[in-house]
């Protein structure tokens, strides 16, 4: 070996020397040589020279199993196996840490974005509530002034005329004509009081229900020349008072806006129930408006939004200049 042979079953001199040395040690320790049995040693070992395999192009797979391959040049893996495994483990650990940091950064950015959006929404809600509070105060004072003017300019004046008419009955000859005029005046006053009371709070809701009250509103609009249609289906027979008042006020406000601001000639109202919700839709053929710009100009839209949100519902308005308007409000039936 190590002198050009490829390999084979070769005698190993070193093993023979080691065995002779062991026997010599036993004799030197006092063991009689005659008592040591004679043994036949098999000192041949199947071995090949790895360098000669490479030299002659012999595949190492053809070497018989159990053959000792000597003079093999260690590969990089053989030399640095522990270092390579440590480096790979360190690289994997760093990759896992970097991936975790990237995921954490992405989640943090998402959380920061949601937080900024929530803060912006909260700020807009705060500003809207503050603006709504100011508008409600002004609207309250305006409504009080309107009611005071109605009472003073109309009803109080007519009551004064009625009082004068009643006092003059005793001094007139035509008592029947004066009595008829006083009766007509009293009936007009009663009608005005009824309309004023109805505008403040619709008692028909409690007595007749939401469908009948909206249908009465449709008749009132038809009398003033506005073509109004009303359809309804799957509406429960009994509804919570708060829910009925909310939807009726929305229909009332939407139709008034269609008449006053949209200059509509046709108004359509739809009321439907499905999946535990009640949805009302009001559409018109008016001139339309810019929805975004309209939020800051009037109290009507804000009051409708506040009413719907107070019951856990949602309100959507679709309109554009020259294309009419469509309002949809949806409120859960269990809201009250």
Give this prediction's pTM.
Answer: 0.47
Q: What is the pLDDT of residues 25-57, one digit of tens each?
A: 999 999 998 888 888 888 889 999 999 999 999
| Percent with pLDDT over 90 in the chain | 26
Q: What is the pLDDT of residues 132-153, one digit of tens each?
A: 766 775 676 577 667 766 666 6
Q: Give the span between the Cα atoms of 249 and 330, in whole angstroms.
A: 13
Of 232, 253, 241, nearest to 203 by C-alpha is 241
Q: What is the pLDDT of residues 118-130, one digit of tens each?
A: 888 888 887 877 7
Mean of pLDDT values over 316-326: 85
Phi, psi of 131 (to 5 degrees): -65, -40
Residues 270, 274, 279, 284: is their CA dihedral positive or negative? negative
**pLDDT confidence bin for 8, thresholds 50/70/90:** very high
203-332 topology per CATH: Heat Shock Protein 90 (3.30.565)
Per-residue pLDDT for 336 more than 50?
A: no
Count Cβ neighbours within 10 Å for each residue of 172-187 and write b for 16 or more, e otherwise.
eeeeeebeeebeebee
Q: Give the span between the Cα atoms of 207 and 25, in whole angstroms.
A: 125
Q: What is the pLDDT of residues 171-188, one digit of tens each?
A: 555 566 666 776 677 767
pLDDT at 201: 56
Average pLDDT along the chain: 82
**pLDDT confidence bin for 242, thresholds 50/70/90:** confident
């Amino acid at each position: 070996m190590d002198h050009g042979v490829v390999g084979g079953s070769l005698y190993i001199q070193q093993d023979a020397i080691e065995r002779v040395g062991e026997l010599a040690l036993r004799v030197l320790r006092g063991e009689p040589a005659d008592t040591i049995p004679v043994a036949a040693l098999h000192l041949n070992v199947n071995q090949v020279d790895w360098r000669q395999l490479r030299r002659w192009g012999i595949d190492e797979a053809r070497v018989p199993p159990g053959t000792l391959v000597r003079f093999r040049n260690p590969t990089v893996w053989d030399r640095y196996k522990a270092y390579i495994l440590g480096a790979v483990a360190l690289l994997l650990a760093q990759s896992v840490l970097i991936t975790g940091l990237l995921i954490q950064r992405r989640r943090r950015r998402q959380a920061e974005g949601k937080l900024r959006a929530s803060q912006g929404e909260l700020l807009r809600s705060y500003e809207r509530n503050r603006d709504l509070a100011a508008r409600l105060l002004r609207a309250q004072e305006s409504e009080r002034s309107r009611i005071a003017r109605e009472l003073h300019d109309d009803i109080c004046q007519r009551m004064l005329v009625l009082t004068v008419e009643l006092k003059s009955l005793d001094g007139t000859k035509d008592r029947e004509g004066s009595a008829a005029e006083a009766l007509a005046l009293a009936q007009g006053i009663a009608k005005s009081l009824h309309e004023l009371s109805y505008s403040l709070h619709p008692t028909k809701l409690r007595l007749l229900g939401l469908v009948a009250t909206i249908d009465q509103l449709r008749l009132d609009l038809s009398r003033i020349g506005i073509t109004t249609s009303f359809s309804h289906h799957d509406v429960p027979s009994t509804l919570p008072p708060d829910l009925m008042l909310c939807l009726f006020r929305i229909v009332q406000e939407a139709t008034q806006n269609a008449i006053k601001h949209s200059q509509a000639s046709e108004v359509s109202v739809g009321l439907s129930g499905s999946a535990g919700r009640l949805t009302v839709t009001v559409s018109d053929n008016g001139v339309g408006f810019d929805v975004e710009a309209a939020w800051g100009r009037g109290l009507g839209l804000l009051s409708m939004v506040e009413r719907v949100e107070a019951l856990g519902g949602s309100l959507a308005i679709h309109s554009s200049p020259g294309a009419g308007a469509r309002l949809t409000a949806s409120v859960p039936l269990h809201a009250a």
